[in-house]
Amino acid sequence: MLFVISFLQLFLEEKIQAVTKMTAPNLALVMAPNVLRCSSESMAVVFTNAQYEQTFVHNLLLHLKCDEIDPDYIPVHGHGAIPSPSPPIPLTKSKSSKSRHRSTINP
């Protein structure tokens, strides 16, 4: 949960909000169903809980200090999930490889 909330908090910076147009209430509205899920089968209960779930996620976004919850937590968003690809090895063709290639094509 710390990872998810700290990641979403990155989007609350003013320069990012200017581009995405996603304010804290908007992020909470979109993310609350993904973070919290009401297990009731009653649609009335689900819709009633939705506003409270949104408020809860909104408060997490605004007030959760992930580094105070777990001092050892150091978020590294975008790193570690997928290893960075190594740079491609440039293909160089030597004259000898070209001549060998031509000799196999035209016997």
Rounded CA-CA distance 37/63 in Å is 21
Using 50, 70 and 90 to split pLDDT, how confident is the model at 79? low
Q: Which two tokens stand for residue 97?
A: 């490889």
The answer as to whether 9 is a domain residue is yes
For 18-61, the pLDDT digits (tens) are 999 999 999 999 999 888 888 888 999 988 999 999 999 999 99
The answer to whether 60 touches 49, Cβ cutoff 8 Å, is no
Q: What is the pTM of this model?
A: 0.65
Residue located via tokens 């790193």: 79
Give Cβ neighbours of residue 90 (< 8 Å, ≥ 6 apart): none
Domain count of the fold of the chain:
1
Could you list the residue range(s) of the whole structural domain that residue 19 is in?
2-79
The answer as to whether 37 is a domain residue is yes
Rounded CA-CA distance 77/80 in Å is 8
The answer as to whether 57 is a domain residue is yes
The answer as to whether 6 is a domain residue is yes
